Amino acid sequence: MNFFEQQAAARRSSMRLIALFALAILGIVAAVNAVALVLLGAGHAGGVIAVCTVLTLAVIGFGSLYRIASLRGGGAVLAAQFGGVAVPENTVDPQLRRLRNVVEEIAIASGVAVPKLFVLEEEAAINAFAAGYSPSDAAIAVTRGALERLNRDELQGVIAHEFSHILNGDMRLGIRLMGVLFGILMLGLIGRKVLQHGSGGRGRGVGPLLLAALAAMAIGYIGLFFGRMIKAGVSRSRESLADASAVQFTRQTAGLAGALKKIAGLHEGSKLSDRGNAEEVSHMLFGDGVGFGGHAFSKLFATHPPILQRIRALEPGFRSEHLAALQARWTAQPPHGLEEDVRLGLVGAQAAIPPPLPPADARLDVTPPMVVAQVAQPQADDYRLADAIVSALPAALHALARQRASAMPLLLALLLDEDAAIAGKQFGEIASRMGAEAAEAARALRREHVAGLHPAQRLPLASLTFPLLRQRPRPELDAFLDTVHAAVNTDGEVSLFEYCLGRLLQVQVREALDPARYVRFGRRKPGGVKQEFAALLAVVARAGNADAAAAQRAYLAGMQRVLPRDHVPYAPSAEGVRALDPVWEALDALDPLAKQAMVESVTATIGHDGRVCVAEAELLRTICAVLHCPLPPMLGEPVRA
């Protein structure tokens, strides 16, 4: 399945989740009514059933709404609730620095902003999870055991696995699942609390209260049963898909297979010490965090395929005796990830040298099916290009992108015009809104670091600053975004790069402030957004063709892809690229397969003249990002002269 088909499958999983949740509620209500009739008698059966049904539904509904509300803050909130410690952007800890480098490279390769990073410091097991509603608010949490035991390739495989959950819609489904399932566990939780605090009490009313608490706990196991069944049914197939995506992404099986072998061969495995947290997040973990065993009944509830099955899917010749040998070796001398990096040549001068970046004026050869296949499905060449982009960034510039004080001036420096007169006006706009010091910092960064930057590095560099921006107070962010808007519109014209950076800032930063508000699976069809399609393709056609007739032909080529039976005249707006502002909400509400047709149509328009320049590639990538279809940096091979 490609990205769009996976999104459609995730939506069907959501519908199946609702059906199973309804079945669980019916089972709990029936059990509560049965217990009530036994305890109170059948004399007033109708009234007893009515009251118990209403109260049970209220408890379940309140529990689900409460948990959903507690998760509205997105991935970072969830990671913090589970004991995650945020990883600083400028950390000097070798294990954390390695983790951040790996995550940054994979984020660039997959076309999304760098997620927030957390470490579960108290967990010696090897595990990880990704959480959030969309790539804009994603967070990845990794156990300290994973950092200590895994070498760089293995850590890369685990992180790539988690990125596949971010890209495939699993992360969004997982966090919704947590909120919904909490409600059907509420009766059991209430019963447990009553027993904990009321077991030492005395009096005539204590006995019935404790009896009711015991009944609530027993009924709670019905919710636990259904909850585990639902999580297992949703999670197992998605975990296998994530393993396959991680291998495709990182171009080798050894890393991911090595991580799985260490889970199977080390005493700590992947089982988390905090059983309560592990139970709730079990369907989102890299490995089995609860410890379901091998007997048949436990397999019904397992959220992951058996560990040996996962290893053999990557290395078909791996056998149980190989695992026994690894266990014996690691019992004598446990593995140390950083030491393995040195021994295997994964760091320093021995590490592989990334390929050079393509020429700044390169023209790319792309086709609509090629681009659709790349959306959220990065390949080996995307990862190699990400290596090249990160490695080619000057160390000083890379460090500036990770510092809180320089993140905003660096983004403003990217927007300063090459024309001195226009840049002077932009300086005034920045100074009037953020102060002369910020304006001077932006001008100095432009002069010393940004002026000679390769075009392919501009948006990836900007994406490295987004995690820092999300930490700013909302008023400060609003002032910054207003400054960006003023700097972009100083001369009355908006270039493709200016528009792309400004729009990405809006999406990546604003969505992260209220992530639950923006999460949805669209349902609209292309026929309901004809004018929005026309406006989008007209801008794209005009941007890539100076000749009006050529632009019209490019526009018609794109419309033929998405609305072949409709005739919507080519009518380019005098506002240029700013005409796109009103179309985003309607286009983002398209269903997944309609978005696939949209990406094909935009690609057909851009590539109608047989070439795609850097500015057009940035526009295509921005369109995909705004509509939540992340596109890797490598769109195709450069056209040979």
| pLDDT tens-digit series, residues 9-26 | 666 666 666 777 788 888
* Structural domain total, the chain: 3
Mean pLDDT confidence for 233-249:
68
Q: Which of 89, 105, 154, 162 is catalytic?
A: 162
Q: Are residues 87 and 231 in the same domain?
A: yes
Confirm whether 42 is domain-assigned. yes
- Distance (Å) of CA 204 to CA 201, 209, 210, 212, 500: 10, 10, 11, 14, 71
Mean pLDDT confidence for 563-586:
90
Structure tokens at 600: 């094909």
How many angstroms separate the first and last alpha carbons of the chain? 35
Mean pLDDT confidence for 50-56:
88
Q: Are residues 234 and 262 in the same domain?
A: yes
| Residue 340 scores a pLDDT above 70 | yes
In this predicted structure, what is the pLDDT of residue 486?
93
The highest-confidence range among 261-265, 295-299, 359-363, 630-634, by mean pLDDT, is 261-265
In this predicted structure, what is the pLDDT of residue 386?
79
Are the C-beta atoms of residues 511 and 134 closer than 8 Å to each other?
A: yes
Backbone angles phi, psi at 626, to 5 degrees: -60, -35
Which range, of 248-262, 374-388, 562-576, averages the lowest pLDDT? 374-388
Last residue of a domain, one of 502, 532, 566: 502
Which range, of 176-180, 190-194, 305-309, 400-404, averages the lowest pLDDT? 190-194
Last residue of a domain, one of 502, 527, 546: 502
Distance between CA 625 and CA 503 in Å, rounded? 9
In this predicted structure, what is the pLDDT of residue 639?
52
Mean pLDDT confidence for 488-497:
88
Provide the pairing of β-strand 637-638 with 364-365: antiparallel
Confirm whether 17 is domain-assigned. no
How confident is the model over 540-552, as pLDDT tens digits? 999 888 899 999 9
Q: Are residues 493 and 542 in the same domain?
A: no
| Residue 396 host element (H or E) | helix 395-401
Measured in residues, the chain has a length of 641
In this predicted structure, what is the pLDDT of residue 17?
67
User: Amino acid identity of 513?
Assistant: L
Confirm whether 3 is domain-assigned. no
Q: Are residues 323 and 422 in the same domain?
A: no
User: Amino acid identity of 575?
Assistant: E
Q: Are residues 248 and 337 in the same domain?
A: yes
Minimal CA–CA distance to 21: which of 31, 29, 32?
29
In this predicted structure, what is the pLDDT of residue 294?
47
Query: Catalytic: 162?
Result: yes
Q: What is the pTM of this model?
A: 0.82
| pLDDT level of residue 517 (50, 70, 90 thresholds) | low
**What does DSSP assign to residue 143?**
E
Q: Are residues 243 and 305 in the same domain?
A: yes
Q: Are residues 292 and 202 in the same domain?
A: yes
Q: Are residues 259 and 283 in the same domain?
A: yes
In this predicted structure, what is the pLDDT of residue 604?
92
Provide the pairing of β-strand 139-143 with 116-120: parallel
Which residues span the domain enclosing 103? Answer: 23-344
Distance between CA 504 and CA 459 in Å, rounded? 9
Half-sphere exposure of 570 toward its Cβ, with a 13 Å CA cutoff? 20
In this predicted structure, what is the pLDDT of residue 385?
77
| pLDDT level of residue 290 (50, 70, 90 thresholds) | confident
| Residue 599 scores a pLDDT above 70 | yes
Q: Are residues 413 and 376 in the same domain?
A: no
Distance between CA 388 and CA 454 in Å, rounded? 11
Q: Are residues 534 and 460 in the same domain?
A: no
Q: Tokens 């999580």 label which residue?
A: 231
Q: Are residues 572 and 620 in the same domain?
A: yes
In this predicted structure, what is the pLDDT of residue 624?
86
| Residue 595 scores a pLDDT above 80 | yes
| pLDDT level of residue 523 (50, 70, 90 thresholds) | confident
